[in-house]
Structure 1
Amino acid sequence: MAELSDARIHQLLTEAEDRLAATPHHDITTDVGQPTPKLDSPSPVVDAKGGIARPPQQRLAVRDAHQIIPNNKSDDAGQGWFGLPKTDPNDKEFKRDVQLLQMRGTALDPSRHYKKESLKAKMPRYAHVGRIVEGPTDFYSSRLTRKERKKTLVDELLAAEKASGKFKSKFNDIQGRKASGKKASYKRFVSQRRRRN
């Protein structure tokens, strides 16, 4: 683009001023294209019948305080959480599963340590119990067979207990401590002495 000289710029500006002076100016305030709308006359708030002023009965109606408002919004965690449903507080199986997760650090496996917050957690507002499906990349020995697969966490825990016998040995330890110094401990002591002889 060619540069404009000062003389050419001055000439263009004077031509623009002449064009502006030639066009007629319109007053903006007087040239309104739409008329102002007329408002309806206000209706009286009080009806006068027989010389007595009474308010209309429609305005005196009592509103129901417990009016049910329809909630069209679905109660789920939203699109960011893939529509995770709201937890049903009356679901007994889910309550048991949450209790098992809370007891995992104390009663179930004391050798493992978990955060205290996760052990004291309340029932979550949005939760869903799912099932882990093994992928094709998992090795065969790490997959569960159909007999080993259980429906709930409680069933899995009981099956693991049958395999390990950990709860039974723990129960026997507690019973042994409770019985120490009593009649049962004396009988056990005598039976052990008889076996030696």
Structure 2
Amino acid sequence: MRTVLDHHIRRNPESEGDGTITINAKVVGYNPTFTASSFMEEFIHEDDEKCRSKEDLNYFLMESGISNDDTYDAITDLIFYVDEVTSSASYNSSPGYDLLVSLLLIPDSHIEEAIQIEEAVRVSFHETINFPLRPASKLVVKSLIRKIYEKVSSTGETTCAICLKEFINGESRVVNLPCGHEFDDEYLLTWFKTNHTCPLCRFKLPCEDQ
């Protein structure tokens, strides 16, 4: 099994102390996604029985077909990852921040699919390495179509490719790009602060300096 971890730090003026952590977990080949939040200190230092979010994550991974050993390894990797992020100088110098962490688990039966995805990302990287990443035009980003997600077919996108969080029908606020791909509004805004291309197909939006 392969484990992929990523994170996003979000400013929260109402946060006290170490703030909170929100985990978004997805198992490739398993449709439901998992989301849970808890206090940062509790998540890192309390055992599973005392930390509800870790206990719920454990049940989610087991229900998705992940073995006990792989579930233990995944949660251990997650805890070490969070501890490393929150121990960094940049994080500690900015109190009042919450942490959003995405956990993607790829079972061995889907490794070939993951390799194909990684190859596509590698090719895309080499296609863009000759020019610096630039933020998208704020005016263009502001004019993008925003709507409340409504599932109209089984073939459409059901999960944001940036945060791996499943869209909630009738609740999630999504942005529809000219290329047709949809993403969570909050995460796409963060993405376009440093990029001007679609995270999936590399469709280019006008840059901020154009």
Higher relative contact order (CA 8 A, sep 6+): 2
With normalisation by structure 2, the TM-score equals 0.18
Higher helix share: 1
Higher strand share: 2
Kindly name which structure, 1 or 2, has the bigger radius of gyration based on alpha carbons.
1
With normalisation by structure 1, the TM-score equals 0.18
